[in-house]
């Protein structure tokens, strides 16, 4: 029988580091279709719960099966599982540092929820307005009881913990949190919309994709310098302001990794996953985000998600075998070369985010 976690145990205000936890399989879990994912016994939760206090001091990260919303995919095809391996990823020089205190520019007190904007990992997003007429976005997460909800709350806590310490023009700004009527609300800066919604309205040109990708790379360089993997880079998770400023959003799956360890969590959206992420026997580092970026640039230029013509289960196996999405020959030479470099099956062959900023497709046109 699934244990019930008292609501009082979910302490978000102190923002303590999330604990490691593995939860039982769900009926819609990707692992139901991939035998290479080791099954999890029903009593795994109880075993892990007993180990929580011991793991807290070790700073272990969050794992567990969690389905995230994919904006352009009809079925839920994302999940997370967790354990760690060695990291050999080279840390590169970056001008922007990480805030140790999580400087917030605004305090949200009295506010009203407005129009529904969309869904994302672990919640729904709405427009909102405060008592001073300031508009912002609010992610609403329902705080109910049970094992799956408890795992989701740990993931939300992970997102809050990371965002409160990040300060970069290409990372969505976090304002704060509030508990109300059994729900958890997370406040962010409000953007115009996602790249996924934009390319359904406009046919992007190379110059536009180049400008957007340049900003995405700057945000990624900042994250990677601080040993953070986003793990869910795709157009639906990249917001654009009216002035064209790009913001990386939805960091619910992001994780800060140990410089001496790589991740072995299977996390993200299937169509954008790197081969090493799909394979549970292979560790991965920040280069997994580079593969996802290649898929995202391909998505912007074609107006279609990668592997669109096949079901996600088949795409999962293709990616695991190292089969790349088709790069149309109709794309420009620089665009094809950029995507090709991102989609190297061997993660060690992929350039870093900082190096890709020097690619001809990205460099500003004179």
What's the mean pLDDT when you consider all of the chain?
Answer: 73
Q: Are residues 64 and 116 in the same domain?
A: no
pLDDT score for 251 = 85
- Give 100's pLDDT tier (boundaries 50, 70, 90): very low
With a cut of 90, say whether residue 328 has pLDDT above it.
yes
pLDDT score for 39 = 30
- Decide which of 168, 188, 208 is a domain's last residue: 188
In a domain, 302, yes or no: yes
The mean pLDDT of 321-333, rounded to a whole number, is 95
- Give 73's pLDDT tier (boundaries 50, 70, 90): very low
Q: Are residues 243 and 355 in the same domain?
A: yes
Q: Are residues 88 and 32 in the same domain?
A: yes
The mean pLDDT of 239-248, rounded to a whole number, is 92
With a cut of 80, say whether residue 76 has pLDDT above it.
no
In a domain, 104, yes or no: no
Q: Residue 2 sits in which domain range?
A: 1-96+193-366
* Global model pTM greater than 0.95: no
- Facing residues of 247 across strands? 239
Q: Which residues lie below 8 Å from residue 316, measured CB to CB, with a gap of 6+?
A: 30, 33, 34, 77, 270, 273, 278
The mean pLDDT of 80-100, rounded to a whole number, is 33
Q: Which residues lie below 8 Å from residue 341, measured CB to CB, with a gap of 6+?
A: 294, 350, 351, 356, 359
Q: Are residues 290 and 328 in the same domain?
A: yes
- Give 105's pLDDT tier (boundaries 50, 70, 90): low
With a cut of 70, say whether residue 43 has pLDDT above it.
no
In a domain, 105, yes or no: no
In a domain, 291, yes or no: yes
Q: What's the N-to-C CA distance of the chain in angstroms? A: 65
Range list of β-strands (E), 10-109: 84-85
Catalytic site residue from 232, 250, 340, 349: 232
Q: Are residues 237 and 309 in the same domain?
A: yes
| pLDDT top residue among 123 and 104 | 123
- Low-confidence winner among 132-146, 166-180, 297-311 (lowest mean pLDDT): 132-146
Return the exposure string of 52-72: e unless at least 16 CB atoms fall within 10 Å of the residue's CB, then b.
Answer: eeeeeeeebbbbbbbbbbbbb
**Percent share of the chain, pLDDT over 90:** 42
With a cut of 90, say whether residue 228 has pLDDT above it.
yes
| pLDDT top residue among 18 and 131 | 131
Q: What's the rounded Cα separation, in Å, for the pair 108 and 175? A: 7
Q: Are residues 180 and 84 in the same domain?
A: no
Q: Are residues 175 and 285 in the same domain?
A: no
Q: Are residues 20 and 150 in the same domain?
A: no
The mean pLDDT of 231-236, rounded to a whole number, is 94
pLDDT score for 366 = 61
Q: Are residues 331 and 216 in the same domain?
A: yes
Q: Are residues 178 and 153 in the same domain?
A: yes
The mean pLDDT of 182-195, rounded to a whole number, is 87
In a domain, 257, yes or no: yes
Query: Which residue shows structure tokens 């140990």?
Result: 258
pLDDT score for 150 = 65
- Give 79's pLDDT tier (boundaries 50, 70, 90): very low
Q: What is the CATH number of the domain that holds 262?
A: 1.10.510.10
In a domain, 102, yes or no: no
Using alpha carbons, select from 258, 273, 250 the residue that is nearest to residue 345.
Answer: 273
Q: Are residues 208 and 350 in the same domain?
A: yes
In a domain, 48, yes or no: yes
In a domain, 229, yes or no: yes
- Decide which of 155, 188, 221 is a domain's last residue: 188
Number of domains in the chain: 2
Q: What's the rounded Cα separation, in Å, for the pair 272 and 315? A: 10
| pLDDT top residue among 254 and 73 | 254
Q: What is the CATH number of the domain that holds 172?
A: 3.30.200.20
**Is 42 labeled as catalytic in the residue annotation?**
no
- Decide which of 162, 188, 214 is a domain's last residue: 188
- Low-confidence winner among 260-274, 289-303, 338-352 (lowest mean pLDDT): 260-274
Q: Are residues 170 and 270 in the same domain?
A: no
With a cut of 70, say whether residue 305 has pLDDT above it.
yes
């Amino acid at each position: 029988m699934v244990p019930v976690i008292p609501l009082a145990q979910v302490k978000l205000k102190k923002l303590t580091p999330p604990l490691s936890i593995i939860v039982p399989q769900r009926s819609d879990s990707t692992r139901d279709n991939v035998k290479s994912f080791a099954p999890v016994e029903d009593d795994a939760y109880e075993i892990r719960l007993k180990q929580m206090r011991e793991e807290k001091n070790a700073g272990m990260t969050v794992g567990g099966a969690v389905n995230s919303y994919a904006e352009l995919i009809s079925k839920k095809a994302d999940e997370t599982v967790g354990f760690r391996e060695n990291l050999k990823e080279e840390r590169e020089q970056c001008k922007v540092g990480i805030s140790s205190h999580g400087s917030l520019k605004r305090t949200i007190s009295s506010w009203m929820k407005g129009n529904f904007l969309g869904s994302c990992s672990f919640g729904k997003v709405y427009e909102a307005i405060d008592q001073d007429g300031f508009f912002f976005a609010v992610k609403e997460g329902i705080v109910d009881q049970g094992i799956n909800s408890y795992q989701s709350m740990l993931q939300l806590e992970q997102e809050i913990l990371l965002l409160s310490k990040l300060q970069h023009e290409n990372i969505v700004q976090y304002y704060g949190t509030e508990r109300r009527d059994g729900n958890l609300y997370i406040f962010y800066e409000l953007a115009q919309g996602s790249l996924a919604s934009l390319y359904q309205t406009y046919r992007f040109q190379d110059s536009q994709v180049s400008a957007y990708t340049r900003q995405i790379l700057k945000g990624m360089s900042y994250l990677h310098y601080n040993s953070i993997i986003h793990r869910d880079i795709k157009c639906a998770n990249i917001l654009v302001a009216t002035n064209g400023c790009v913001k990386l959003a939805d960091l619910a799956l992001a994780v800060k990794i140990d410089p001496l360890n790589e991740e072995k969590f299977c996390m993200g959206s299937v169509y954008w996953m790197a081969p090493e992420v799909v394979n549970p026997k292979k560790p991965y580092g920040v280069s997994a985000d580079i593969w996802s970026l290649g898929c995202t640039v391909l998505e912007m230029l074609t107006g279609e998600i990668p592997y669109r013509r096949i079901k996600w289960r088949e795409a999962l196996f293709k990616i695991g075998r190292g089969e790349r999405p088709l790069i149309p020959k109709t794309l420009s030479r620089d665009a094809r070369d950029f995507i090709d470099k991102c989609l190297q099956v061997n993660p060690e062959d992929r350039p870093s985010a900082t190096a890709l900023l020097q690619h001809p497709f990205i460099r500003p046109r004179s």
